[in-house]
Amino acid sequence: MTPPSPNYPQDNRRRAIGHHLNFVEPGVPLWKALRDYHHGCDHSWVGMGENLIASRTATPGRHHQPIIDLDTPHRIVESTTPGNHHLYLDTEISSWRWRLLMVALYLAKVIEPGNFWWSMRRGSNFVRPEGQRKDADVFSDEAFTEFFWHHRD
């Protein structure tokens, strides 16, 4: 079993040595390269000299700790709940792609069920602005009535 990363003690990811990762011969369509790919031909699971971190863990049963290579503008903002963060993907996507992304995150148990179902119901994700705590959301009776009077439809 690979020792955990010193930076992330819960890290149970396997380490590997990579050979020609992402290598596709010039003029060969990506679909053909993927079709002809032989699992394991571009990396070796070894005990030393690794230059790759895999999402696959050392836990029996082919478990993963996902690694997401974000190739789009993004930012991570710390939540007021210790240890939690908000990931902002600063790229517009269509509504159906957003729903598909939300379903995938929900099924992978990356987001909480309440967050998923409320986001689906509202048709959008909502988080509090940076630094604003949940207990600061208390409406006065007057503000509550005013808000719902104007937003009843």
Contact in structure between 89 and 72 (CB atoms under 8 Å): yes
- pLDDT at residue 3 tops 50: no
CA distances in angstroms from 128 to 8, 24, 106, 133, 147, listed in the order given? 27, 44, 20, 7, 18
Task: Please give the structure tokens belonging to residue 102.
Answer: 């939300």
122, 114 Cβ separation under 8 angstroms: no
Q: What is the pLDDT of residues 106-139, one digit of tens each?
A: 999 999 999 999 999 999 998 888 878 777 655 5
Q: Is 24 left (phi over 0), alpha (psi -120 to 50) or beta?
A: beta
Of residues 149 and 5, more confidently modeled:
149
Residue 41: pLDDT band with limits 50, 70, 90? low
